[in-house]
Structure 1
C-alpha cells in the first residue's frame, strides 16, 4: 500500500509539473506585445531613422487616443466646470484619460441643456488635444529608454505641439532632441504627422444640428408626433394609449377615458424607447422604411427632417432609452393624480337619454436627453492604434416641452450672441451671407392693429434652409435696418412668441435700399359656425349653373342656389365633429358642433395648409328593407327600424388659412357636404349610394331634368347623366369663409 501510494504521488507530481508548464506557455502566448517595447538595432548608421520613427510612432498613437477621447466625449478630453454630462453605456470606455476597449460607461456632454446652447468651441477642442499630446507623448517616449539601453545619451526638452483640425488633423510637435554616442550625434526639433480624419466636418454637422434644434425644435416636434400617434382616438383605451392634445367626442356614451400620471409617464417612456430612433436626418446615409401601406409610409416619411446638406457617407443614429427617464414630467389639467376629459352633458330632451360631449385637451411638460451618434465612412477607413471600430462622435441634446410648446416657457428669444459666434467660427451660415448688398433695407413689423412688434427674430433664406442667414431682431419701434445677401426671391422669416410666424419675399440687388412692411398676427381665436349641404342638391346645382358660373335655364343665379342649399343642423341632437390637420407639421385644432352647444367655443387656427375632416352624426330612424325575401336592418339583431345616432356623411378638404384673412376676420363659416339630413325618411337602401371616387372627385349618375342643361342650350331631353365634379373644384368652391361679423 505504501509503495502504491508513493507511485500515485509521483504521477500526480509529474502531471502537476506538466500542467504548470502548459499554463505558463499559454499565459506567455496570451500576453500582448507591449507597444512601448521596441527593438533597437544599435547600429549608428540607422539610429537617426530609428529615433525619427520612434517619436513619430508615439506621436501618432497619442494623437489617435486624443481623437478617440474627443469623439467619445463630444469634443472634450477634460470637461470644464459647468458642462453638463450624462453617463452612457458604451462598448469602449475612457478611464483616467486613457481609452479602454471594454464595455462600460462614458461621459457624454449636452449641447443643449436647460434651453441653452452648450457646445465646445473648436478652439477649446484643439487646445485640449494639444495639452493631451504634450503630456502623453512624454509618457510614451519613456525617456528614450530603448536607446539608453544601447548606451546612447539622449537629451530632450518637453514637447510643445500645434494641432490644426480641418479636413485632416495635422500635428506639428516642437520636440528638441539630441542623441549621441561616441562620435555619433543626432539632433531634431520638429516632428510632423497627419491623421486622415475630418473631425471639423463632423463638428460642423453637430453644430448645425444643434442650432437647428435650438431654433426650430425638431426633437420636440418628433416627440409630439409620437404622442399624437398613440393618443386616444375614441372607443376603449388601448395599450400604451396617451391623453390626446386635442380631441372632442360626442354621443350618448357618457363614460370618458381616464389615465394615471405614472401610467402616462411609463407609456411615453416605452414609446420613445422603441420609436424615437425612427427620427432621421434627411440626405444622410439612412435606411428608409418602405411599406406597402400608404398611411404607414407617410408616417415614417414624416419622421425625416431636412437639416443638413446631402452626404451619403455620413451615418447618424438618434435615440432615447427609457431608463434615462423624463424629468419635470407633468400633464395638465389633472385632478390629483388623475387625467380625465372635460365633460359637458345636455339633458331635457323627452324620451331620450343624456347627450354627452367629452373634450380631451392636455398639455405635456417634460425634459429628456436625446443621444446623437455620428460616423463617416471615410473616417472609418483609417485604422486607429487606440481602438477598433467606427469613429463615432457622441453628443446629447435635451428635448424640452413646456405645455406642448417647444422650449417656450416665457423666456426671451434665442441668445443671438452665442449663435453668431458659432456661425462666425465655423462659417455655419451659407456662403451667400458673406456677400452682402451695400443697399441697406428697412424691415418694419407691425401687428394687425398697426402697433410695432419688437423682438421679432429674423432669418433670411435664399433657395432653401441650407442657404440661410441669421439677421437679428426688431427694435422697440418694430424696425430692423440691415444689409441682406444678394438673392432673387429670397424669403425673410419673422418669429415671435404668442404670434404667428410671418414671411416676406425679398429680392436683394444693388438697387437703393427698400422698406418692407410685414404684418405679424397675434394668436387669434375665431368664432365659428357650420353649414350642411346635401350632396344631391349640390350636384344638381352644379350641372344647372355650369359649375356655379352662369344663370340656370330657369333664370336662377348661382349664388341663389348656393344660399338655398345651406342648412343648419336639423336635429336637436345632431352634431358635427371636425378637425384641421396641418400638413407637414403637428397641429390639430378640432371641434364638436351642435344645437346644444359647441366645444371649444372658439378656434385657434394659425396660418398654414390644412386637411379639414368632418363627420356629421344625425339622430335618425332608419327603416329596414326586404331583400331576397329577408329583412335587412341596421340593428344588430337584423330586425326592425334603427333609432339613434348614425353617421350621415364624412367630408375632407384641403384648406389654406391665410394671414390676411385672419387679420381681417373674426369668424369662420365651415361648409360640409353630407349624404343625408337627419329629418329625411331613411331606410337601409338610402346608404348604398357612393358619391366620391378613389381620386376624391364627385362622380355620380343622376336624372337630369328636361331643358335644364346649359351646355345643350336648355334644349335637352330628360335622361341619366354622370356628373363629375373634380376635387380641385370642391377645394375652391367649398373653402371655409373667414369674415368679420360685428
Structure 2
C-alpha cells in the first residue's frame, strides 16, 4: 500500500470519528437543550412556559397510560383507529371496562373475529411508539396555549407578547419523558424586547420503559400463550367426577349412575376461578413480585408455583398486576345435550344374564373460553410519588382445550371442532425507513413528510410502520396418508403369552405425538401384519383385542426402516370371584375408674389413637377404644389437655375381628375394583370391577397376572339411625375459672399444659341431635389393599385355579354423632364408616384374597 492510500484511509477514519463526535454532541444537546440566554428579569416567563409544558405533558400521559397507549381511543381522528366496542362477551377490539362510563382499553392481542369463527383472526391494537409520540405531541401543540392563557400573570406588569405556532417533540429518555417545545415568544416591556423559542418540560414518568415492558408481556402471550396455560393450570386442578367440581378433560368410571353437570353452573365456576387466580399471577424480576406461599402444603405450593412466571430476564422497577373484574366472557363446553353435560355409558351384558352387567362410563369434555385480562404496569415513584400506571388488555382464547399457538402448529384436538376447516391469521408489523433531505434550516423525512431541526433527529424518526395479515392454517393430518408411509415393510407378529400361538384379529394402531394416529389394520390367522409406517421419533404401537390386556410398545420409524416386531399379549382369565366379610365386634364392655386416668404425654390427635398400648400405657393394655367421656376429653398434645364434663367414671370396650368370614346377607351390596399397577412405562391402565347386588356373593371377573390395588366398598342397604339426644353437650361454660375455657368438639383446652384439679363448670347442658338422623343406605366397610397396606400379587398359576375369594371388613354401625360425652352404653360415632383404610392396615393378614380350584 502506498503512502497516499494510507493518508486517504487516515483522513476517512478521521472524518468518521469527527462525525461520530459531532453526532454525540448533537444528541446530548438535544437531550439536555442548553438554556437560551435570557435576562434575569425575563426568566420567570420561561419558567412559566416550561411549567405549563410539564403540566400539559402530565395531562397527556395520564390518559395515554390509562388507555393502552391511546390519548382518546374513542376519537378515531386522534387515535387513528375506529375501535369496535361491544357489550357481548369477548367481542370487539377493546375491553369495555365500564358500561356506565363507556371507558375501554384496546386489546394488544385478541381474536378479532367472532367467537364462533372457523377462519379466526388474531390481531393487535398495540400502537407503535411513533403513534404514541404523535398523539402526545399533538395534544401539547393543541393545549399548551390554553395553559399559558395569553401570559395573563405578566400583562399586569406591562409586558406585551407576540407568539408563533407551537411545535412539540417528545423525547422518551430512560428515566423520564422530556418535551422539547419550539414556541416563538417575543416579550416587550418598555423599550426592552426579549425573544425566546426553545422550551423544555420534564415529566418524571419512564414511559418508554413501561411501554417496552408491556410489549414484552404481549410478545410472550403471542408466542407462548402463557395466559391460556395459566387458565388450564387452574381448571385442570379443579376438575373431577363430582357435580361440585368442573367436568374433567377425560375420565373413566364404572359407576351405575352417570355424573351430570349444568352448563351455566360450570360457567359460573370457571368465572370464579378467573376472579380468584388471575390476580395471583406474578412476574419474576418485577417489583415486589413474590411467589404465593402455601406453607407446608406441597400440593398448594406446586399450584401457586405455576402462577409465578419467569420469562422476564432483566429486572424491571415496576409492579405488574393482572386483573379480571367479572367482565363478561365467552364460554362453551362440549359435548352436551342442551344445558346438561354428562358422560357416555357402555354396558357389557352377559348372555342369559350369566353375570351382572358391567358398566363403563367415559367422560371427555372440550372447553371453549375467551376472557379479557387487564394488565397494569405501575411505577409508584413516578409523578413525585403520586404514581403512574400503564394499562393494556389481553384476551385469552382457548378452543377445544387448545390455545391458538397450538392450533397454528396443527396441534388442535380432534374433538368437536373440525380442525380441517379452522384457520388463524395474525397481523404482522413491517417497518419501512425513509430518507432525510436538508431543506433550508430543517431536515425533511420523505416517507412521513415531517420536518426536524436536525439531521440526526430526522434519521431517528424517519420511518413508518405498516401492518399486514399473515394467514396460518393448521397443519393437515396427513399422517395416515399412504404417501407418508416412508419406511420399508415392517412385519408385526402378535402371540398369546401363554400358548405362544399367533393371535388373529388384533387391532393395531400407530401413534405419533398427541393427535397423529393411523390404523394399521388387524392381524391375520397367523397373528401377523405386514405394513409400511410413516416416519416418527418415539412413536407408539398399540394392540387391542377382546379377551386380552391391551399392549403398547415404543417404536421409532425412520425412512427405509425394515423391522420384525414380536409382541406377546396376556390373555385374560375368567375367574369366579366370591366376596365375604369380617364383622368388627365389641366385647368386654366395662367401666374405668377415674383414679386410673393416664397422664397426657404424647403428641397425637385422637383420630390417630388406635389403642392405649399404642400410647405406651401398659397398665391399660388391651383397652382399644374409649366410650365416655373423660379419656375422650384427653387431647394428646405436647402441652395441652382436654377436659370433658364432670364425670368420674368412663365406659370402655375392646374391638376384635376376624374369627371367621361370613357370606354377604340380604341387606348388603358389595363393589369390588381392582387396578393393575403398571410394570412398564407405556403399559396401559388395566381396571376391572364388579358389583354384587343384595344377597349375591359371587360373580365373574377378568384378570391377568400382575400386582393389583384392590378397593372394596360394603354398602348396607338398611343403613343406620342416630337416635336423638345421644350426646350431651355443654351449651355454655363458666368462663370465670382460672384456666381458659373454649368448647370444641373434643372437649376444653387448658393452655397451661397441666391437668386442672377441678373441672370447669357448665352453666347449661343440652342434647344433640334434636331429631333422629337416618343414613340409608350407608357405606359400612370394605377393603383397601394399596401401597400403604400391601398390594395383591396375582400369578398365572393363581389364575389357573379358576376361583378367588375376597374379604371385606364390616365396620360397626354408628350409634351417635360423636363419642365425646355420649350418654349411650355403646358409643360408635359416624367416623366409623370411614375406617376401612385403618382396619385394612390393622387386619391386613386376614384380607389377602385366596385362590382355589373350582
TM-score between the two structures when normalised by the length of structure 1? 0.53
* CA distance 1:52–1:632, shift in 2 (3 Å): farther
Distance 1:360 1:419 in 2: 46
* CA distance 1:313–1:263, shift in 2 (3 Å): same
Correspondence for 1:325 among 309, 325, 328: 328
In structure 2, the partner of 1:357 is 360
Shift of 1:633: 9.3
| 2:243 is the counterpart of 1:243 | no
In structure 2, the partner of 1:304 is 308
Correspondence for 1:375 among 378, 386, 398: 378
Distance 1:180 1:636 in 2: 116
Distance 1:284 1:636 in 2: 67
Q: Say if 2:170 and 2:179, in contact at 8 Å, map to a contact too.
A: yes
1:132-170 deviations in Å (ceiling 9; x for gaps): 111121110111111122221011112101112241322
In structure 2, the partner of 1:417 is 428
Shift of 1:646: 3.3
Distance 1:75 1:684 in 2: 65
Which stretch shows the higher mean deviation, 115-124 or 209-218? Answer: 209-218
* CA distance 1:524–1:687, shift in 2 (3 Å): closer
Distance 2:482 2:432 in 1: 34
Shift of 1:624: 3.5
Distance 1:636 1:418 in 2: 77
RMSD of aligned C-alpha atoms?
Answer: 4.7
In structure 2, the partner of 1:174 is 182
Shift of 1:66: 1.2
Q: Say if 2:283 and 2:320, in contact at 8 Å, map to a contact too.
A: yes
* CA distance 1:170–1:622, shift in 2 (3 Å): farther
Shift of 1:344: 0.9
Which stretch shows the higher mean deviation, 398-407 or 53-62? Answer: 398-407
Distance 1:568 1:197 in 2: 74
* CA distance 1:307–1:643, shift in 2 (3 Å): same
Shift of 1:366: 3.0
Correspondence for 1:630 among 657, 672, 680: 657
Q: Say if 1:257 and 1:341, in contact at 8 Å, map to a contact too.
A: yes
* CA distance 1:646–1:209, shift in 2 (3 Å): same
In structure 2, the partner of 1:724 is none
3-state SS in 1 of match to 2:45 = helix
Shift of 1:621: 3.1
1:675-695 deviations in Å (ceiling 9; x for gaps): 4799xxxx99994875899xx
In structure 2, the partner of 1:466 is none
3-state SS in 2 of match to 1:331 = strand
Shift of 1:368: 1.6
Correspondence for 2:282 among 263, 266, 280: 280
3-state SS in 1 of match to 2:140 = helix
Q: Say if 1:345 and 1:357, in contact at 8 Å, map to a contact too.
A: yes
Q: Larger radius of gyration, structure 1 or 2?
A: 2
1:156-210 deviations in Å (ceiling 9; x for gaps): 1121011122413221100000001112221101012333332222222211221
3-state SS in 1 of match to 2:271 = helix
In structure 1, the partner of 2:438 is none
3-state SS in 2 of match to 1:123 = helix
Which stretch shows the higher mean deviation, 118-127 or 630-639? Answer: 630-639
Distance 1:672 1:295 in 2: 34
In structure 2, the partner of 1:163 is 170
Distance 1:353 1:210 in 2: 57
In structure 1, the partner of 2:207 is 199
Correspondence for 2:129 among 122, 125, 130: 122
In structure 2, the partner of 1:343 is 345
Distance 1:684 1:88 in 2: 55
Q: Say if 2:179 and 2:201, in contact at 8 Å, map to a contact too.
A: yes
3-state SS in 2 of match to 1:418 = strand
Distance 2:660 2:141 in 1: 88
Shift of 1:303: 2.2
Q: Say if 1:624 and 1:639, in contact at 8 Å, map to a contact too.
A: no
* CA distance 1:498–1:361, shift in 2 (3 Å): closer
* CA distance 1:314–1:526, shift in 2 (3 Å): farther
In structure 2, the partner of 1:315 is 319
Distance 1:212 1:104 in 2: 31
| 2:399 is the counterpart of 1:402 | yes
Distance 2:235 2:705 in 1: 29
| 2:57 is the counterpart of 1:63 | yes
Aligned residue pairs: how many?
453
Q: Say if 2:542 and 2:550, in contact at 8 Å, map to a contact too.
A: no
Distance 2:679 2:161 in 1: 85
3-state SS in 1 of match to 2:292 = coil
In structure 2, the partner of 1:3 is none
Correspondence for 1:289 among 280, 292, 299: 292
List runs of 5+ in structure 1 lacking aligned partners: 1-43, 91-102, 423-445, 454-495, 501-517, 534-562, 574-618, 658-670, 699-742
3-state SS in 1 of match to 2:109 = strand
Q: Say if 2:581 and 2:664, in contact at 8 Å, map to a contact too.
A: no
Distance 1:160 1:635 in 2: 99
List runs of 5+ in structure 2 lacking aligned partners: 1-37, 74-79, 84-92, 112-121, 408-418, 434-477, 486-512, 518-533, 552-566, 586-654, 685-703, 712-780, 794-854
3-state SS in 1 of match to 2:72 = coil
* CA distance 1:643–1:520, shift in 2 (3 Å): closer
* CA distance 1:637–1:295, shift in 2 (3 Å): farther
* CA distance 1:227–1:522, shift in 2 (3 Å): same
3-state SS in 1 of match to 2:345 = strand
In structure 1, the partner of 2:579 is 621
3-state SS in 1 of match to 2:338 = coil
* CA distance 1:181–1:290, shift in 2 (3 Å): same
Q: Say if 2:580 and 2:662, in contact at 8 Å, map to a contact too.
A: no
Correspondence for 2:258 among 256, 259, 262: 256
Distance 1:519 1:244 in 2: 33
TM-score between the two structures when normalised by the length of structure 2? 0.46
3-state SS in 2 of match to 1:392 = strand
* CA distance 1:255–1:450, shift in 2 (3 Å): closer
Q: Say if 1:367 and 1:398, in contact at 8 Å, map to a contact too.
A: yes
Distance 1:313 1:161 in 2: 29
Distance 1:629 1:307 in 2: 60
Correspondence for 1:73 among 59, 67, 72: 67
Shift of 1:648: 5.3
Shift of 1:390: 2.6
Distance 1:183 1:448 in 2: 94
Correspondence for 2:151 among 144, 169, 186: 144
